Amino acid sequence: MKSMFQYIAAVACVAALTACGGGAKTPTAVVVPQPDFKLTDTVVGTGTQAAAGDLVVINFTGYLYDSTKADFKGSKVESSVDTGKPATPFTVGVGSVVTGWDQSILGVAPFAAMKIGGKRTAILPAALVYGAGTRDVPSPNPYGYVAIPANSPMVYDFELVNVVKGTVPVVVPPPTTLQSVDTLVGTGATVAAGQTVTANYALYLYDGTRADLRGPLVQTTIGAAAQDFVLTNTNVITGWVQGIPGMKVGGKRTLTIPPGLGYGAVQHDTIPPNSTLIFDIVLVGVK
């Protein structure tokens, strides 16, 4: 793979034609060497075997592929193990996750599908994971994850925790309008539109298959110093501008925010496009 220095040098040549031998040149696309797809069972499970259409629960850890390492595991990029709870359940084999995950869990000859209790390591070329897409470092980043560059092959450790045969989960569809629920009514000053508030929050991705509708926790300031936020559209998302006024200091409120009032169709840090968001907000003060 070309280094960043080589890439900058190539761009410089295009800008300075006489110094680099004349006519404009098209920069060569960066080519990332890709490993072959490979599965290795570290523990063969003894429970129910997964099949396409089953609802599965897994633990996973993902690494950037590093050909210089004996186990090919480079820097860690994501992990349900670090969070202390399995990944959100999903239906395997129907395209609800990246192709490499489906193939790893369901197996590719000579490997059979995983069974409950099984552990499997998969080496996945980029085309089976994020392809030409990228993923930024999450914020906050308590586990020290790194960003995923474009065309990155990956290594994943999977553990199959549970299988529900042929069951499509009951899914509560996300709301299309802002939803606000006060879990604790404060006793202090009341917030008005446009004011500056001091608050802590926890942000979850909406997951209609969970009883509390909270999927992965993607950001939180709970347990840290409260932060100031100006309730205008140039400073915070529209869901906050509309959803926080009326709170009283000392109160707690849960906002369920549809994509149009959140980050819309744009990827924001680790928040996928068109995500419905759930914010648990604790109002500490108002200015």
Mean pLDDT, rounded, for 222-248: 95
**The pLDDT of residue 68 is above 50:** yes
Band (65; pLDDT cuts 50, 70, 90): very high
Question: CA 250 to CA 199: how far, in whole Å?
Answer: 10
% helix, strand, coil for the chain, step of 5: 10, 35, 55
Sign, CA dihedral 94-98-99-102, equals: negative
Q: 179-286, which class in CATH? A: alpha beta
pLDDT at 169 (0 to 100): 61
- CA–chain centroid gap for 243, Å, is 25
Q: Is the predicted pLDDT of residue 81 greater than 60, yes or no?
A: yes
Closest-CA residue to 140 (of 222, 213, 62): 222
Residue 120 near residue 114 (C-beta atoms within 8 A): yes
Classified by CATH at the fold level, domain 32-164 comes out as Chitinase A; domain 3 (3.10.50)
Q: 154 exposed, middle or buried (CB, 10 Å; 0-12, 13-18, 19+)?
A: buried
pLDDT greater than 60 at residue 8: no
Residue type, 258: P
Q: From CA 107, how far away is CA 246, in angstroms rounded?
A: 53
Q: What is the pLDDT of residues 108-126, one digit of tens each?
A: 999 999 999 999 999 999 9
- The per-residue pLDDT for 236 is 95
Element of type H or E holding 239: helix 238-243
Asked whether the predicted pLDDT for residue 27 surpasses 90, the reply is no
Say if residues 122 and 104 touch (Cβ distance below 8 Å): yes
Banded model confidence at residue 10, pLDDT cuts 50, 70, 90: very low
Where does the pLDDT of residue 240 fall: very low under 50, low under 70, confident under 90, or very high at 90 and above?
very high
Mean residue pLDDT across the chain: 87
**Quick one: which of 162, 170, 71 has its CA closest to 122?**
71
- Looking at per-residue pLDDT, the higher value among 139 and 2 belongs to 139
Given this model, what pLDDT does residue 30 score?
A: 58
Vertex 270: Cα angle to 252 and 86 (nearest 5): 80
Structure confidence by residue, pLDDT tens digits, 124-167: 999 999 888 888 888 889 999 999 999 999 999 999 999 999 86
- Mean pLDDT for 35-48 is 96
Burial profile 194-231: b = 16 or more Cβ within 10 angstroms, e = fewer: ebebbbbbbbbbbbebeeebbbbebbeeeeeebeebeb
List every span in the chain annotated with CATH 3.10.50.40: 32-164, 179-286
d(CA 88, CA 161) in angstroms, rounded, equals: 12
